């Protein structure tokens, strides 16, 4: 039995909750023609066994290698086993059998992969989803490393909330990092982690944040956080793509990116408001209204911001402030 419908009627967060609570086993596909993108999530008894998205597949093997959990040689050998012997198992399962890594390491990275995919899917407000029940043996991953859907949704919500902190400096994944001019007073050394150095090394003034994430095989969220730190320290600055700065009409992909960025700010403000951080909500929504005044959510956000401001003033009166 298939469950399907447009995202405008049932948001992706609600879809995940339904599949979790009903302990469904099968494959969920979420397609956005506007973005020319597709996400695939396999569920085993309501838990996430596998997640991938076409724009950035977050391959488990590369994630394990970059985390120094396996070597390049071990990854190559596992891939060869898949190809030469027609092995249908996922790379993670093969690496465990080889003794190259542990089930715990694979589970941690399956979780990170799922969190990255779900976080991106939660920013989609248009598209179509379809869930089909299937036997777990048909999954493109090992159900033994399935992770809690609830915990993944909580992490995705935390990431949306964290965007409210970095959105003032990194407003869009389409922004292009470039090296800033370094003054004489600027510190001569940077204290960065290996993954942060890798992002820094890929910055060329041409790749946007989304492209950087693909190049270094990290989630867009993780790369955005690294860029936020580099912008905060004055090492890099951000510019918008040339097409936009020249006033040329947006392509479908660019319009999808604009809509996704706008929706992310709406959700960031909503997450802050529902957790009681009204000041943060107002700050994010003010930024959203200044950047996307004609967005279709703008009227509702204006109403929500006005209500939040009235609530804040009422509380100040009651406190005698």
Please give the Cα distance from 261 to 219 (Å, whole number).
Answer: 16
Phi/psi for 248 (5° steps) reads -75, 145
What does the pLDDT look like over 40-67, one tens digit per residue?
999 989 998 888 888 776 678 888 887 7
d(CA 267, CA 9): 17
For residue 106 the two structure tokens come to 């694979």
Distances (CA, A) of 315 to 28, 277, 285, 308: 44, 13, 20, 11
CA angle 140, 113, 209 (to 5 degrees): 125
Comparing CA positions, the residue from 58, 49, 27, 63 lying closest to residue 149 is: 49
Mean pLDDT of the chain: 80
> In the predicted model, is pLDDT for residue 199 greater than 80?
yes
- Bigger pLDDT: 188 vs 5: 5
Please give the average per-residue pLDDT across 117-128, as a whole number: 82
pLDDT band at 277; cut points 50, 70, 90: confident
**pLDDT > 70? residue 144:** no
What is the helix, strand, coil percentage profile of the chain, to 5? 55, 15, 35
Is this structure's pTM higher than 0.85? no
**pLDDT score for 245:** 44
Mind listing the pLDDT tens digit for each residue in 1-16?
688 999 888 888 889 9
Q: Is 26 helix (H, G, I), strand (E, B) or coil?
A: strand
Residue range 228-256: average pLDDT?
Answer: 68
- Looking only at the bridges linking them, the beta strands covering 47-53 and 128-133 are unpaired
Q: Which two tokens stand for residue 199?
A: 């992002």
Please state the domain extents for the chain.
2-161, 176-319
| Distance, CA of 274 to CA of 281 (rounded, Å) | 9
Contact 170, 209 (CB under 8 A): yes
CA pair distance 218, 197, nearest whole angstrom: 13
Compare 305 and 177 and report the one with higher pLDDT.
177
């Amino acid at each position: 039995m298939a469950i399907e419908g447009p995202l405008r009627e049932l948001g992706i967060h609600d879809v995940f909750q339904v599949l979790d609570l009903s302990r469904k086993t099968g494959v969920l596909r979420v397609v956005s023609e506007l973005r020319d993108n597709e996400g695939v999530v396999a569920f085993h008894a309501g838990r996430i066994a596998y997640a991938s998205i076409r724009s950035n597949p977050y391959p488990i093997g590369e994630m394990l290698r970059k985390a120094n959990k396996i070597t390049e040689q071990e990854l190559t050998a596992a891939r060869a086993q898949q190809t030469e012997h027609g092995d249908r198992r996922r790379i993670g399962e093969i690496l465990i059998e080889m003794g190259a890594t542990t089930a715990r390491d694979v589970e941690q990275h399956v979780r990170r992969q799922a969190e990255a995919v779900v976080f991106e899917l939660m920013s989609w407000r248009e598209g179509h989803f379809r869930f089909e029940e299937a036997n777990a043996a048909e999954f493109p991953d090992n159900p033994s490393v399935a992770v809690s859907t609830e915990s993944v949704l909580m992490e995705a919500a935390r990431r949306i909330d964290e965007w409210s902190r970095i959105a003032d400096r990194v407003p869009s994944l389409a922004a292009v990092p470039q090296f800033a001019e370094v003054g004489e007073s600027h510190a001569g050394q940077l204290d960065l982690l290996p993954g942060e150095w890798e992002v820094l090394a890929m910055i060329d003034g041409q790749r946007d944040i989304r492209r950087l994430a693909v190049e270094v095989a990290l989630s867009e969220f993780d790369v955005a956080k690294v860029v936020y730190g580099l912008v905060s320290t004055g090492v890099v600055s951000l510019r918008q793509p040339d097409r936009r700065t020249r006033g040329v009409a947006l392509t479908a992909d660019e319009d999808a990116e604009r809509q996704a960025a706008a929706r992310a700010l709406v959700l960031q403000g909503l997450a802050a408001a529902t957790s009681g951080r009204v000041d943060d909500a107002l700050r994010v929504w003010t930024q959203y209204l200044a950047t996307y005044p004609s967005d279709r959510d703008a009227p509702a956000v204006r109403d929500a911001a006005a209500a939040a401001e009235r609530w804040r003033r009422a509380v100040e009166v009651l406190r005698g402030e």
